[in-house]
Amino acid sequence: MDYKRIEQLVAVHGTPALFFSRNRIRDNFRALQSALPGVELFYAVKANCHEGILATLQEEGALFDVCTNGEIDIVKTCRIGPELCLHTHPIKRDSDIRYALDFGIRLFVADNEFELDKFLPYKDKIKLLIRMSIQNPQCLVNLSQKFGAPPADTFALVKKAADAGLRVAGICFHAGSQNENPFKYIEALEYCRDIYKKAALAGIHLEIVDIGGGFPIDYLARVTPIAQFCQPINEYLARYFSNYRIIAEPGRFICGPAMTLAVRVVGKALREGVWWYYLDEGVYGSFSGKMYDHAEYPMQLARGGERRQSICAGPTCDSIDVVYENIALPPLEIGDLLAFNAMGAYTTASASNFNGFPKAKIVTID
Ligand SMILES: *Cc1c(COP(=O)(O)O)cnc(C)c1O
């Protein structure tokens, strides 16, 4: 977002604030939909569950990926029906399964035999996707460390589920968040080809392939434009999976670019020859994404001048609350405005109100 515009908004709304563009949500959804023609897009609510995002996506015809009872409550509040939702948490309590079933969700995920057992009482009501793990140490967040059956064991799990009378709809995977390598999806789909073949030979009828999320956005560096990024994935799907329902679970790609954070310098100090600037937002707030999501957000500032190594800290009394330990900045003054782009995904979602600082308010701008 343009710095002048941010200044005007801050004059009205103050800081810290996340300025939210519905148009950006719409544009991102449409861009991904046209980059992945025919693929059903389930927005991963965990990336940012702001109601304005869900409402805008619902208008666009999006579907929703929920993981928890709390996320079910949020989609309910937005009057999103269960037929639009998929439940993707691989590990659940029986009460979680029942909560989702009571709402009306029918498609679930499991990734091990203990989890299969939990579905036995509900086997006539549900369909399962089996989560396969795809290792991707290169990307920002590897989502296959914690969940997923190893590819070599996935068919056995499909078979086990089917033998137990569970309806298996297909395989799902997550190739890693902010995944800049489209061939990670192909790698996963290669495993799927083998598994789907074995399933067909075993008389198990699979109907869905779920390619997960992970689609990358621009932070400090530009990534491959989404249409180009998705092209090899489309080609592979068209070649080997043309008879299947293909679904994806984008989070970051949809909401990341749709929020811009505005903060002010509220204090400064020279400590042992290094300038410290204290901001009104830190790692317990929207910058929690720097801790959990390992993201580096593009910064805008008005002030010029010779840059020197500085430290930017958050407002809380905890010393871990440092946003930048070593950043080259011009001399800043108390009251200066800093803006950070691409702060819609995994930012406010993981923010807290630690130390009495409320979460940054979200201001819808269009
Ligand atoms: C977090 C998550 C997503 C969204 O991932 P992005 O990288 O934000 O696109 C999708 N599916 C599952 C199962 C997830 O846990």
What would the pLDDT profile of 270-307 be if each residue is shown by its tens digit?
A: 999 999 999 999 999 999 999 999 999 999 999 999 99
Q: Which of 230, 255, 280 is the last residue of a domain?
A: 255
Q: For residues 207 and 287, state if they share a domain.
A: no
pLDDT band at residue 62 using 50, 70 and 90 as cut-offs:
very high
- 126 with 71, same domain? yes
For 258, which DSSP code? Answer: G
Q: Are residues 265 and 251 in the same domain?
A: no
The residue whose CB lies within 8 Å of the most ligand 1 atoms, and thus the one to mutate among 249, 254, 255, 259, is 249
Atom 13 in ligand 1: which residue has the minimum CA distance?
88
Task: Establish whether residue 89 lines the binding site of ligand 1, counting it when its CB lies within 6 angstroms of any ligand atom.
Answer: no
Cβ contact 249:202 at 8 Å: no
- pTM across the whole model: 0.97
Q: Cα(155) to centroid of ligand 1, in Å?
A: 23
Q: What is the mean pLDDT of residues 54-63?
A: 98
Average pLDDT of the chain to the nearest whole number: 97
249 CB within 6 A, ligand 1: yes
Q: Is residue 97 located within the same domain as residue 210?
A: yes
User: Is residue 317 among the annotated active site residues?
Assistant: yes
> Closest by alpha carbon to 207, among 167, 163, 250?
167
pLDDT tens-digit map of 319-338: 999 999 999 999 999 999 99
The CATH code of the domain that includes 41 is 3.20.20.10
Whether 200 and 228 share a structural domain: yes
d(CA 342, CA 253): 10
Pocket probe for ligand 1: among 46, 87, 131, the residue whose CB has the most ligand atoms within 8 Å is 46
Q: Are residues 215 and 318 in the same domain?
A: no
CA atoms within 13 A on the CB side of 244: 27
Q: Find the domain containing 80 and state its range.
A: 22-255
Within the chain, strands assigned E span 17-20, 40-44, 63-66, 85-87, 107-110, 127-132, 167-173, 208-210, 245-248, 259-271, 274-279, 299-301, 308-313, 322-329, 337-340, 361-364
Q: Give the domain-ending residue among 255, 275, 294.
A: 255
Residues 297 and 187 in one domain: no
Q: How many whole angstroms separate alpha carbon 66 and alpha carbon 45? A: 6
Residues 74 and 195 in one domain: yes
